[in-house]
Amino acid sequence: MNEGYSGFPKGYEIGKTKFVIITGSVMSGVGKGTFSASLGNILKLYHGLKIAPVKFDGYFNVDAGTLNPYRHGEVFVLDDGTETDLDLGSYERMLNQNNSKDNYLTAGKLFKMIIDKERKGDYLGRDVQIIPHVTGEIKYFLRNLAAKSGADIVLVEVGGTVGDIETSYFLEAMRELAYEEGRSNVCFVNVCYIVQPPSLGEHKSKAAQIGIRTLMQTGIQPDIVICRSHNPVADNIKEKMSVFSNVPVNRVFNMYDFGTIYTIPLFLQDLGIDAEVLKIIGLKSKTTNRDDFGEWKDLAEKFKSAKKEIKIAITGKYTNVHDSYFSIIKAIEHTAPYFGAKAELMWIETTEIKNQDDAKKALKDIDGVIVPGGFGERGVEGKIECVRYCRENNVPYFGLCYGFQMAVIEYARNICNLAGAHTTEVDPKTEHPVICILPEQEEVKGLGGTMRLGGHDVVVKEKSVAHKLYGSAKIRERFRHRYNVNTKYIDQLEKAGLVFSGQAGEKKIMQILELPNHKFFVGTQYHPEFTSKPLEPNPLFRGFVEACVDIREFDNI
């Protein structure tokens, strides 16, 4: 250990892996994640390169598991159980690959790792400091990912904006990385926002210029500048950004709002961004087989040609913050074009639904209903009324996690005549606890990372709807729950006609339910939206969307 500590894994070879680092300036939430995922899409699917994406988040939560959806949007769950923010879901969907804990680093995770090492004496009695130890651990994290994954490119998104205190050491680590790896092995891309005040009606680049200058003051010189804007910017704006950033004007690109996320990779390639990135880091395409990218182009065409319009209701309690259900939205969005359809999402606040009349009024003209995951009692009775409406009126129903549990409760109450049946999460004293806490969860005290999380195998009953859609008797899906179907009620529910078509292989945990002789009535204890990808839509989403398409008559086809 010395002053130059920089975190090189054993056997790491400089130059074997290249690094593309995406930073933000001016403001957050303008599309760094979308750009990063789209760039990765081109580099992988078109150029045949192996990509390992990474997201740095400056907050001190160890992961996203305890974050309120109102504040931070959806919690995305990786196969290894890591709870992340929604950008990791975008990476998985756009790159058509799964990620792990090695693709996600928060300040909380970083500093916990450092403190744990310090307590064990791993720093050999040194005074632990931001430089070299904190920045060294960040660099080690990236290099370790590079070595483990064998990636051609590690694609790094630094969350937040330049000037944020909580991301300053991440940026410093990236400056050091470029110094140690050599500038030919690192490409910096800055995503800035060009404002267009309504009162002026023209673009103003001063805020973006200041953001770029602030980034340069950290010692980072961008190689490419991405000007995000609502409308296309004029050439003079790009020229100004070029002068203020020392970036040639042919490497200043305008990424404005248009179309869908699925057309962005095609748009970026048309601009030539991928070619410039590869030129900067000295890489060439590894394949001339463009079949995967051809599939992506075909999907983009499907979006353009989709004519059938379907209405799908999402009934929950976070309906005013759509990012809370980001993966569900994307799963519906990228599945519908396979059936020549485009979906209009109707957001139903279930706290306002008290009875069947309310449910009928809220779900009128709806082609399908999703009750998504969630926690707590608010809006529960409204969700149960929505489930009942779908069951009794042959409306396609898809229950995800909490929606699975709501379907069990509704069936127990109205078919099995178990008055007051409920989940002990909402009513601990219910006479009929058809949903109860998992035995292994009873002694758990903390919240973060303590649920049944990540990928687990599911055994699927033959000749069931689920078996027909998956085409397999054993599948793997991702979970995030504490409660399950009370085993004492399983026989009673099944005798009354409810089919549990999927369960855990090692335990009696019911994981898929369905109703025979219904257009589509399926619930899953897991989250199929987490494994649904544009080139490989989840089979249950395919079944649900197909059912929604079939029930509507289309005069314009």
Pairs from 235-240 (Cβ < 8 Å, separation ≥ 24): 237/194, 237/203, 237/205, 240/205, 240/209
> Does residue 163 carry a pLDDT above 90?
no
Q: What is the mean pLDDT of residues 170-195?
A: 96
Q: What is the mean pLDDT of residues 354-377?
A: 91
The string over 209-228, giving b where at least 16 C-beta atoms fall within 10 Å of a residue's C-beta and e elsewhere, is bbbbeebbeeebbbbbbbbb
pLDDT of residue 219: 96
What is the rounded CA–CA span in Å between residue 424 and residue 376? 10
User: How large a percentage of the chain has pLDDT more than 70?
Assistant: 93
* Strand ranges (E), 339-463: 341-349, 368-371, 397-400, 422-423, 433-437, 452-460
> Does residue 323 carry a pLDDT above 90?
no
- On the CB side of 192, CA atoms within 13 Å amount to 33
Beta carbons of 93 and 140 less than 8 angstroms apart = no
> Does residue 554 carry a pLDDT above 50?
no
How many angstroms separate the Cα of 192 from the Cα of each of 26, 171, 249, 319?
A: 6, 16, 15, 30
pLDDT of residue 482: 86
Q: What is the mean pLDDT of the chain?
A: 92
User: How large a percentage of the chain has pLDDT more than 90?
Assistant: 80
> Does residue 103 carry a pLDDT above 60?
yes
CATH architecture, domain defined by 18-296? 3-Layer(aba) Sandwich (3.40)
pLDDT of residue 403: 96
pLDDT of residue 400: 97
The predicted model scores a pTM of: 0.92
What is the rounded CA–CA span in Å between residue 143 and residue 112? 19
The more confident residue out of 488 and 11 is 488
Q: What is the mean pLDDT of residues 209-220?
A: 95
What is the rounded CA–CA span in Å between residue 280 and residue 287? 19
Query: Before 539, cis peptide (omega within 30)?
Result: no
pLDDT of residue 319: 59
pLDDT band at 557 (very low <50, low <70, confident <90, very high): very low
pLDDT of residue 556: 37
- Please confirm, yes or no, whether 536 is among the known catalytic residues: no
The string over 435-457, giving b where at least 16 C-beta atoms fall within 10 Å of a residue's C-beta and e elsewhere, is bbbeeeeeeeeeeeeebbbbbbe
Pairs from 165-171 (Cβ < 8 Å, separation ≥ 24): 166/58, 166/59, 166/60, 166/107, 167/56, 167/58, 168/218, 169/130, 169/134, 169/135, 169/138, 170/56, 170/58, 170/138, 171/23, 171/215, 171/218, 171/220
Q: Which two tokens stand for residue 338?
A: 């396979």
Tens of pLDDT, residue by residue over 398-419, are 999 999 999 999 999 999 999 9
The more confident residue out of 440 and 303 is 303
pLDDT of residue 70: 64
How many angstroms separate the Cα of 149 from the Cα of each of 29, 100, 142, 292, 293?
A: 29, 11, 11, 21, 22
- 3-class SS at 314? strand
Beta carbons of 123 and 81 less than 8 angstroms apart = no
pLDDT of residue 444: 54
Q: What value, to the nearest 5°, has the Cα angle with vertex 229 and ends 227 and 232? A: 90
Which segments of the chain belong to CATH 3.40.50.880? 307-550
- Please confirm, yes or no, whether 527 is among the known catalytic residues: yes
How many angstroms separate the Cα of 166 from the Cα of each of 42, 139, 469?
A: 31, 17, 46
> Does residue 535 carry a pLDDT above 80?
yes
Q: What is the mean pLDDT of residues 416-426?
A: 95
Tens of pLDDT, residue by residue over 243-287, are 999 999 999 999 999 878 999 999 999 999 999 999 999 999 998
What is the rounded CA–CA span in Å between residue 173 and residue 134? 8
pLDDT of residue 443: 52
Q: What is the mean pLDDT of residues 91-115?
A: 96
Q: Which of 192, 401, 416, 548 is catalytic?
A: 401
Tens of pLDDT, residue by residue over 456-504, are 999 999 999 999 999 999 999 999 988 999 999 999 999 999 999 999 9
pLDDT of residue 179: 96
> Does residue 226 carry a pLDDT above 60?
yes
> Does residue 6 carry a pLDDT above 70?
no
Which segments of the chain belong to CATH 3.40.50.300? 18-296
What is the rounded CA–CA span in Å between residue 145 and residue 114? 18
- Please confirm, yes or no, whether 462 is among the known catalytic residues: no
Amino acid at 475: I
What is the rounded CA–CA span in Å between residue 258 and residue 275? 22
Q: Which of 72, 83, 529, 548 is catalytic?
A: 529
Amino acid at 327: S
Q: What is the mean pLDDT of residues 541-553?
A: 88
What are the residues whose beta carbons fall under 8 Å from the beta carbon of 372, sequence distance 6 or more? 314, 315, 316, 325, 328, 400, 401, 402, 403
Category of 244 on φ-ψ map: left (φ > 0), alpha (ψ -120 to 50) or beta: alpha
> Does residue 388 carry a pLDDT above 60?
yes
Torsion of CA 278, 282, 286, 291, to 10 degrees: 10
Beta carbons of 394 and 518 less than 8 angstroms apart = yes
CATH architecture, domain defined by 307-550? 3-Layer(aba) Sandwich (3.40)
Beta carbons of 175 and 220 less than 8 angstroms apart = yes
Q: What is the mean pLDDT of residues 109-128?
A: 92
Tens of pLDDT, residue by residue over 126-160, are 899 999 999 999 999 999 999 999 999 999 999 99
> Does residue 291 carry a pLDDT above 90?
no
Please give the DSSP secondary-structure letter assigned to residue 516. T
What is the rounded CA–CA span in Å between residue 122 and residue 457? 37
Note the maximum CA span of the chain: 76
